[in-house]
Amino acid sequence: GDFGLIGLAVMGQNLILNINDHGFTVVAYNRTVSKVEYFLQNEAKGTNIIGASSINDLVTKLKRPRKIMLLVKAGSAVDDFIEQIIPHLEPGDIIIDGGNSHYPDTIRRCKYLEEKGFLFIGCGVSGGEDGARYGPSLMPGGSLAAWEHVRPIFQAIAAKAGGEPCCDWVGETGAGHYVKMVHNGIEYGDMQLICEAYHLMRGLGLSHEEIGNVFEEWNKGELDSFLIEITKNIVKYKDNDGAPIIEKIKDVAGQKGTGKWTAISSLELGVPVTLIGEAVYARALSALKGER
């Protein structure tokens, strides 16, 4: 196989199918091995995708230098898999972390693996499930020596803008995940602006239908984007009783941490990103529903 991928949640499955579409042979593995069998018999049926029954099986099925991508939950799961893979690798083999890892973890893992003679890439992946399937934006950073080996695959599967792939080398150690973090922080800002625009229009007495129409108009101009498009759909969506469903949803936002990390980093560097900071605080405030 040309490329190994561990983690068969939706993102992992879609990325595997995308890589397969571009003529590369993918070896797929999941901790719960039954998921590999199910994937091969369903979504991956009729493709060249190969299943692996263990880490050892995965590694032996890959051409050198081996390229193994992890799409597992950020945190200890990434370290656990790295420890499981290491004994099976040979010098120059490449591990890629495609999760939303915090960049200091990526810096640590990159140094750790390079000291052992391996290569590491921390890669931001953006575009959600559809992006993974039909063209994500990829932000790879880490061991520069690994780039030439993964470049043909990454640039083939990435989204294209003006004919150029939405993927290039970002920099060393944690640079890829740092860029992804800032990218997510910017999205926090976008979402907060959309919320405040909605809030203002409600304050002006516009109906949900009218607000939806405003977002629809905006989506035809320079604000054309995924977030504006789904906001239009959400605002107009009616519950079974005909009432706008948005009025029935608790105004409490969760967060996975990338916006918070961006704000913390900006404070450490003395670079004001007030919009992102305020957006993180707005989410924190929304979570304090009882106190509001």
Q: Which residues contact 283 (CB under 8 A, 6 or more apart)?
A: 188, 253, 254, 255, 259
Of the listed 35, 180, 232, 236, which one is catalytic? 180
Query: Which sign does the torsion angle of CA 125, 126, 129, 133 carry?
Result: negative
The answer to whether residues 168 and 208 touch, using CB atoms and an 8 Å cutoff, is no
Tokens of 152: 């043909």
How far apart (Å, rounded) are the C-alpha atoms in residues 102 and 174? 8
The answer to whether residues 146 and 95 touch, using CB atoms and an 8 Å cutoff, is no
From the number of C-beta atoms within 10 Å of its C-beta (0-12, 13-18, 19+), residue 235 rates as buried
How far apart (Å, rounded) are the C-alpha atoms in residues 127 and 244? 28
How far apart (Å, rounded) are the C-alpha atoms in residues 119 and 108? 13
Reply yes or no on whether 43 is catalytic: no
Of the listed 187, 232, 236, 260, which one is catalytic? 187
Reply yes or no on whether 187 is catalytic: yes
Residues with catalytic roles = 180, 187
